Amino acid sequence: MGATNKAILGEMAVELSQDTKILTGGWDLIGPLIDQPVIIIFDNQSDITVQIGNDGVNPWKTFQAGSAVLLDMRANHGIADNFLFRKGMNLYAMGTATAGNQFFKISYVFANPTLL
């Protein structure tokens, strides 16, 4: 038996962005994931500390000003074949509003089998 090609093309999702000058001090919706990220980047481009979570109640990670995290879900799967965030998952930010044009951004790529 020959090898099976399981190639799926990657696609870039529209970047999610939260303007930090309009943060309320509570949980503010950044947006939902339109698909399941394979690689996702959380990038705090502001000069304030921002907490990120997915339930609007509990923080997942606190990002200091200017910090970023890249998660490669392919490398972090443990024993699971497909370790991904779920499509439609909401992401929230919490911080204190700041002046100027500063943003917290979330960028990701996802696998799209319909592009083959």
State how far Cα 10 lies from the chain centre.
16
How far apart are alpha carbons 43 and 26 in whole angstroms? 19
How does pLDDT run across 79-104, given as a tens digit for each residue? 666 778 889 999 999 998 877 679 99
Give the range of the structural domain holding residue 89, as residue numbers without chain letter.
12-111
Number of domains in the chain: 1
Distances, alpha carbon 30 to alpha carbons 43, 108, 112, in Å? 13, 14, 23
- Stated pTM of the model: 0.85
Supply the CATH number for residue 59's domain. Answer: 2.60.120
Classify residue 106: in a domain, yes or no: yes
Classify residue 4: in a domain, yes or no: no
State how far Cα 37 lies from the chain centre.
8
User: Is the per-residue pLDDT at 76 higher than 80?
Assistant: no
Classify residue 103: in a domain, yes or no: yes
Per this entry, what is the length of the chain? 116
